């Protein structure tokens, strides 16, 4: 039984793809190795969004190949995912030890390619062509481990692939292709299976989930295909919470905002990727909304759910960003008061329009703005965490704490981690507990009152 180790770089979509590849390989008789040393096959599932992510994966592969050379070991080595898609055969040329390059529409064929290489039927395979229906191939979950496995209470479900938005800084439309959605029936069947396995919370995944199903399902009673899908998943017994990522601000139409007020399983957590607070930059980025429209969405979301946790992504140092543009981003952050923000330094990606724009900013300017923005974001987020102290919150208990295995942890509906003195019997339960302390982006709940008090409705709905 050959053993395989998969290392994942990048986003939750990549994590989900790796899990589906692992499940596919286990199904074909492979075992999963806990690390690369000693594995028969090492696969790196790559990310191309920033240059740093590509360099890390390339460096890792060079190190593994060098170690193998030194030890005289033979391992089958492969690149999967976004960088495999964008660089293709170039990766074989760069590193003669690489045997396999599998693009983003060919994950489901990884097992077949490995079988061929291990049996000596084929060598050095590169498969990056588009494939009709590949979006529906990301459906297998690991039976024993992984996010959707035994003991897990949360799972990712891939609902669509690709993106048609073509933001000028983004390589994703090139690596993931055009938008392609699975059917509602197919997704609901997968969600039901997960519910039967004990999954309580689902995160619907895609590169731009709010564009889900536009070509498959017409708007019905004012509800978009994405809202129709959420309604269908909402009807599944055993599923208590629904999240989704990554959406686009343009996708928060009135139907989706209204769904937050109407569907109690849709938790109070909205990711609204901002990228910039300057209208001039938003136009250059081809984002399709203005600062005013963005703020209007935030206001509407908070009107239907006052406890809505709002997170975002922001890029600093986009070509031509002036101090005035940057100040507009800072002021918008203060105006919204984000609960969480992922701040990225602009990374020049080949074959994107922004890479050819004039006025690329020098690294020290980008560094300095990155530091200033992070300071503001941390100040806002920590104030929000502190404000939770003394409140009752509902958490879904996920298992032992990642920071301290002697304790348990769960997430609030607005996606904050709460650590408490729980035990195995709490896993998978929805508990109301009081927040007694706020640490560095972690809340602590009082074990003495776990489950003994009713929620005062401070966060979320009782259902
Ligand atoms: S919407 Fe997101 S995935 Fe699509 S091009 Fe823009 S940043 Fe990239």
Residues in a beta bridge with 309 = 269
Only one residue has tokens 């879904």, namely 396
Contacts of 375 (CB under 8 A, 6+ apart): none
For residues 16 and 6, give the distance between their C-alpha atoms in angstroms, rounded to a whole number: 12
Centre of ligand 1 to C-alpha 168, Å, is: 9
- What's the token pair of residue 97? 């030890």
Any atom of ligand 1 within 6 Å of the Cβ of 43: no
Cβ atoms of 396 and 410 within 8 Å: the answer is: yes
Q: Would you say 197 and 150 are in contact if contact means Cβ atoms under 8 Å apart? A: yes
pLDDT, tens digit only, all 463 positions of the chain: 899 999 999 999 999 999 999 999 999 999 999 999 989 999 999 999 999 999 999 999 999 999 999 999 999 999 999 999 999 999 999 999 999 999 999 999 999 999 999 999 999 999 999 988 898 888 888 876 555 555 789 999 999 999 999 999 999 999 999 999 999 999 999 999 999 999 999 999 999 999 999 999 999 999 999 999 999 999 999 999 999 999 999 999 999 999 999 999 999 999 999 999 999 999 999 999 999 999 999 999 999 999 999 999 999 999 999 999 999 999 999 999 999 999 999 999 988 999 999 999 999 999 999 999 999 999 999 999 999 999 999 999 999 998 888 899 999 999 999 999 999 999 999 999 999 999 878 999 986 555 554 443 333 332 2
CA distance 197 to 238: 10
With contact defined as beta carbons under 8 Å apart, do 214 and 225 qualify?
yes
Placement of tokens 């998978």 in the chain: 428
Give SS3 for 358: coil
Q: Among residues 126, 132, 202, 194, which one has the least CA distance to residue 162? A: 132
pLDDT at 67: 95
CA distances to 78, 146, 379 from 17, in Å: 15, 12, 35
**Residue 403 near ligand 1, beta carbon < 6 Å:** no
d(Cα 297, Cα 18) in Å, to the nearest integer?
A: 34
Q: What are phi and psi of 311, to 5 degrees?
A: -120, 165
Kindly report the protein residue whose alpha carbon is nearest to atom 1 of ligand 1.
165
163 CB less than 6 Å from ligand 1? yes
Count of C-beta atoms within a 10 Å radius of residue 439? 12
Determine whether the shortest distance from the Cβ of 248 to ligand 1 is under 6 A. Answer: yes
Residue 405: the pLDDT is 86
What pLDDT score does 146 carry? 52
DSSP string, 113-178: HHHHHHTTS--SEEE----TTGGGGTT---SSSSTTSTT--EEEEE-EE--S---TT--HHHHH-S
What is the CB neighbour count within 10 angstroms for residue 192?
16
Report whether residue 173 contacts ligand 1, using a CB cutoff of 6 Å.
Answer: yes
CB-CB contact of 188 with 219 (8 Å): no
**Residue 448: what pLDDT?**
57
**Does ligand 1 come within 6 angstroms of the Cβ of 166?**
yes
Q: Burial level of 72, CB count in 10 A (0-12/13-18/19+)?
A: exposed
């Amino acid at each position: 039984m050959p053993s395989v180790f998969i290392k994942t770089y990048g986003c939750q979509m990549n994590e989900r793809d790796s899990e589906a590849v692992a499940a596919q390989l286990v199904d074909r008789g492979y075992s999963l190795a806990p690390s690369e040393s000693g594995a028969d096959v090492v696969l790196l599932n790559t990310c191309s969004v920033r240059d740093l992510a590509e360099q890390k994966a390339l460096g890792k592969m060079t190190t593994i190949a060098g170690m193998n050379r030194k030890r005289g070991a033979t391992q089958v080595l492969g690149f999967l995912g976004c960088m495999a898609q964008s660089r293709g055969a170039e990766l074989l040329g760069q590193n003669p030890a690489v045997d396999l390059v599998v693009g983003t529409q060919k994950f489901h064929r990884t097992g077949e390619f490995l079988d061929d290489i291990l049996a000596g039927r084929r060598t050095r395979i590169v498969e990056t062509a588009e494939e009709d229906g590949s979006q529906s191939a990301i459906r297998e979950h690991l039976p024993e481990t992984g996010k959707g496995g035994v003991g897990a209470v949360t799972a990712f479900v891939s609902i669509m692939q690709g993106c048609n938005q073509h933001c000028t800084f983004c390589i994703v439309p090139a690596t993931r292709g055009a938008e392609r959605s699975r059917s509602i029936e197919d997704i609901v069947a997968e969600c039901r299976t997960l519910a039967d396995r004990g999954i309580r919370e689902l995160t619907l995944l895609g590169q731009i989930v709010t564009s889900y199903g536009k070509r498959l399902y017409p708007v019905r009673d004012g509800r978009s295909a994405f809202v129709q899908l959420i309604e269908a998943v909402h009807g599944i017994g055993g599923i208590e919470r629904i999240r989704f990522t990554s959406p686009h601000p343009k996708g928060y139409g009135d139907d989706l905002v209204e769904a937050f007020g109407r569907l109690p399983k849709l938790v109070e957590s909205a990711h609204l990727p901002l990228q910039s607070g300057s209208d001039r930059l938003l136009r250059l980025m081809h984002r399709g909304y203005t600062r005013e429209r963005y703020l209007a969405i935030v206001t509407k979301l908070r009107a239907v759910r006052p406890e809505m946790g709002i997170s975002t992504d922001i890029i600093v140092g986009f070509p031509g960003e002036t101090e005035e543009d940057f100040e507009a981003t800072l002021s918008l952050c203060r105006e919204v008061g984000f609960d969480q923000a992922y701040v990225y330094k602009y990374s020049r990606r080949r074959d994107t329009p922004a890479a050819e724009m004039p006025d690329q900013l020098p690294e020290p300017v980008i560094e300095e703005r990155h530091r200033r923005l992070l300071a503001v974001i941390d100040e806002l987020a920590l104030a929000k965490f502190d404000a939770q102290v003394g409140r009752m919150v509902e958490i879904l208990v996920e298992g032992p704490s990642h920071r301290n295995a002697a304790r348990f942890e769960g997430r609030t509906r607005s996606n904050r981690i709460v650590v408490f003195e729980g035990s195995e019997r709490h896993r998978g339960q929805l508990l109301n507990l009081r927040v007694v302390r706020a640490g560095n982006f972690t809340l602590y709940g009082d074990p003495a009152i776990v489950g003994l008090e009713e929620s005062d409705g401070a966060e979320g709905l009782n259902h």
